Structure 1
Amino acid sequence: MSAVSRIIDSTRSAATALFHSFWNPTADTMRRWAIAGVVVNAGITVTGAVVRVTGSGLGCPTWPRCTADSFTPIPHPEHSPVNMAIEFGNRLLTFLVLTVGIACVLAAMRMVPRRASLVRLAWLQPAGVAAQGLWGGLVVRSALNPVTVSVHFLLSIGLIAAAYALYARSREDDAPARRLVHRDIRTLGFVLAFAVFVLLVTGVVVTGTGPHSGDVAATRFDFDLETVARVHATAVWIVLGLTFSLLFSLHVTDAPGRARRAALVLFGVELAQGVIGYVQYFTAVPAFLVGLHVLGSVLVWIATLRVVFLMRIRASAGIAVSSSESSSAAAPLPV
């Protein structure tokens, strides 16, 4: 068999396997599509930051077209080809996110037996992408108004949460949830998740006040940068304190090992993110570190969601529950 034939056969096999992964899904392929949803939503959030820090926010100055006369980039006197390529590339990634979202819906709907909980969560993906696309048009038409840009980021955070919820639920069945930790520790986890969300909100305010607007024509929040940076730093320390408290509580109560390790990972990611934040502040906010900081914020959010979901369990369809975890599970809780 020639090399070309082998490549064709391999490609055909891969395409067939990909098709069956959502058309004839198993519990395993459903989980894979769900985690793919987390990855692509996180990825487009970070590339959105790349668009902003490279000054490419209006590289395609109209919407839904790139320019007034074309859906694809064409020479434009006010925008460099590089900026246009970066912005257009980010728009193209939307179709990848949408494709993964549709695959999640198909996999959830064709699961045997079909689980309504997964179908509902899966539909959030394409619906969220459609909402993001329309909101992205408003961002462009508002010339990157910081309010619209901030909401654009927070919608992405919501989509990541929905994708992670789909992933977590696809690893379980629909039995009632049981706590694996003390009730007060689980409450602390919810408080921590809310605090992380507030941290992200204060972060977008800092971003909307700082120097990387996405385009020289973009407006900025009329706040003092040092003041909002201090508010954001305060939120950082609150989140770190809550995370340490949660980590300590999980260890002294002999909580399940996966929950303890997840909390430790979250604490480590937060520390790394804090270092990046302080370095970028004292080095005049270089573009590269801003992009890295956005990546860090996405990882903090995902790590937080992981901790929250690992502090409870439903009768698992794909994960063996250890005896220690089973013995520490409390009465069923509504979720």
Structure 2
Amino acid sequence: MTISPALKVFAWLSFLAEVIIIGTGGAVRLTGSGLGCDQWPLCTPGSLVPTEEMGIHGLIEFGNRTMTGAVGILALVVLLLSLAAAGGRRSVVPALLFALGGVVLAAGSYAIFYLTGLGSVGAVVMSVVLLLAVLVGAIHSLRTTPVRRDLLTLAWVVLAGVMAQAVVGGSAVLTGLNPFIVGFHYASSLVLVCVTAAFLVRMYAVTGPRELATPRWYLILVHVTSLVLAITIVFGILTTGNGPHSGDKNVTRDGFDASLLAHIHSWPGYTLFALALVIVIVAWAKALPTRAWSTAFIAVLTVQIIVGVVQARDALPPLLVGIHMVLAALSAAAYVVTIFRLKRPVTR
């Protein structure tokens, strides 16, 4: 399989878009614009664009929704280019047919609900139908295209994830910005950043069998650290979800104590930093292939910790909270690359 220049360009654009949408999604929440369009996916019963009465909040929410469309288009382009490289027309045509069929069925289902006055329900049904079409198309594609299933699987996961994110985002609006749904929405976006990062790594990797390139105890340490990273992110989401930035001025949080959660969030955070420091020192001492990206990870993590401490002391200014959210995604992406560097192509 030959990786075309176009695939490389769009794969990078897809990764950047997934990072950017975390920033725009954070802007929606941190500016209190989460309900700037409370008639999701319509801002008014007859318009897809924000109205003048909604002011800046409607524009911010609409901008994030527009970014969602861009993320979806880029994911689709990456998938089609990957299919074209792996199987040519025999792989691309069925995928397009599944996509066309899904769009037709989704539009029809939405029209039915919209005409009966249930536009919001119709939007959810439309998103679910599109997601099902993607899943069926993915199964068919992976069964009939034996070449570079690793790339195809990652590309399908991103497209399906974008479709699912539309449903989750709509559910957050329809439930009045339920903190758990909003938190899951962010976590899902962060996972998509990691998946697109994994696609980039595999795209440039040499195909074929791989072998362990580090001591086994080091591999175990890296995977244990990934668990600590996940715990740190989870507690960060819970802390933000119970903080002052609920997404709308009329939505309040009456759940966990945000101050207590902030302290608990710091415990795995500092543990993560200590483990990352060990990983970096060992990597450079033994000249392991993880040294470059583990260094990049701890560099981003250090900045993230500094931002986290400053924002906690300054009563959580929205800009710093948003930067903290984006840095979490970048650090997770860097760690994904570090994990992939644990193995190397088998030397023949």
Task: Measure how far apart 1:93 and its partner are.
Answer: 0.5
Q: Which residue of 1 aligns with 2:295?
A: 264
Contact 1:146–1:208 (CA under 8 A) maintained in structure 2: yes
Report the alpha carbon displacement of residue 277 of structure 1 after superposing the two structures with TM.
Answer: 0.5
CA separation of 1:112 and 1:149: change in aligned 2, threshold 3 A:
closer
Q: 1:314 maps to what in 2?
A: 345
Residue number among 164, 168, 181 corresponding to 2:201 in the alignment: 168
Which residue in the other structure is 2:323 paired with? 292
Structure 1 residue runs of 5 or longer lacking an equivalent are 1-23, 316-325, 328-335
**Is the Cα–Cα contact under 8 Å of residues 75 and 158 in structure 2 kept in the other structure?**
yes
Q: Describe the SS at the equivalent of 1:284.
A: coil
State the Cα deviation string for residues 95-133 of structure 1 (Å, max 9, x = none). Answer: 110111011111110115642221121111211111000
d(CA) in 1 for partners of 2:47, 2:2: 39
Q: Tell me the equivalent position of 1:147.
A: 180
CA distance in 1, matches of 2:295, 2:86: 37
Report if the CA contact (8 A) 1:143-1:217 is conserved: no
- Cα distance between partner residues in 2 of 1:304 and 1:120: 20
2:58 to 81, 84, 94: 84
Query: Structure 2 length normalisation: TM-score?
Result: 0.79
* Structure 1 pair 117–264 and aligned structure 2 pair: CA distance change class (3 A): closer
2:248 is the counterpart of 1:215: yes
Partner Cα separation in structure 2 for residue 41 and residue 221 of structure 1: 31
More helix by share: 2
Query: CA–CA distance in 1 between the matches of 2:8 and 2:220?
Result: 27
- Give yes or no for contact 2:24–2:63 (8 Å, CA) kept in 1: no
Residue of structure 1 aligned with 2:48, choices 71, 74, 90: 71
- Give the deviation of 1:32 after TM superposition: 2.9
How big is the shift at 1:314?
Answer: 3.2
Query: Which letter does structure 1 place at the counterpart of 2:76?
Result: I
Superposition TM-score, scaled by structure 1 size? 0.82
- Is residue 133 of structure 2 the alignment partner of residue 156 of structure 1? no
SS in 1 for 2:165: helix
CA contact (8 A) 2:198 2:337 kept: no
Distance 2:273 2:254 in 1: 27
Which stretches of structure 1, 4 residues or longer, exceed 3 Å deviation after superposition? Answer: 24-29
- Residue 221 of structure 1, CA deviation: 5.1
Counterpart residue number, 2:170: 137
Paired amino acid for 2:334: A
Quick one: percent identity of the two aligned structures? 30
Contact 1:208 1:221 (C-alpha < 8 Å) held by counterparts: no
Structure 2: unaligned runs, 5 residues or longer: 88-146
1:190-218 deviations in whole A, cap 9, x for unaligned?
Answer: 12222112111111101011101110222
The aligned amino acid for 1:313 is R
Secondary structure class of the residue paired with 2:52: coil
How many residue pairs match? The answer is 289
* Counterpart Cα distance in 1 of 2:28 and 2:86: 42
Determine if the alignment matches structure 1 residue 94 to structure 2 residue 68.
yes
Equivalent residue, structure 1, for 2:138: none
Determine if the alignment matches structure 1 residue 108 to structure 2 residue 82: yes
Could you report, residue by residue, the CA deviation over 1:21-70 in whole angstroms, capped at 9, with x for unpaired residues? xxx97344333322222111111011100111111111111111122332
| Separation (CA, whole Å) in 1 of partners of 2:209 and 2:3 | 22
Matched, 1:206 2:233: no
- Asked if the contact 1:144/1:219 (under 8 Å) is kept, the reply is no
Matching residue of 1:119:
152
Question: For 2:295, what is the secondary structure of its paired residue?
Answer: helix
**In the alignment, which residue of structure 2 is the partner of 1:52?**
29
1:145–1:218 contact (8 Å) kept in structure 2: no
CA distance in 2 between counterparts of 1:310 and 1:285 reads 36
CA distance in 1, matches of 2:285, 2:151: 35
Say whether the 8 Å CA contact 2:211–2:343 is kept in structure 1.
yes
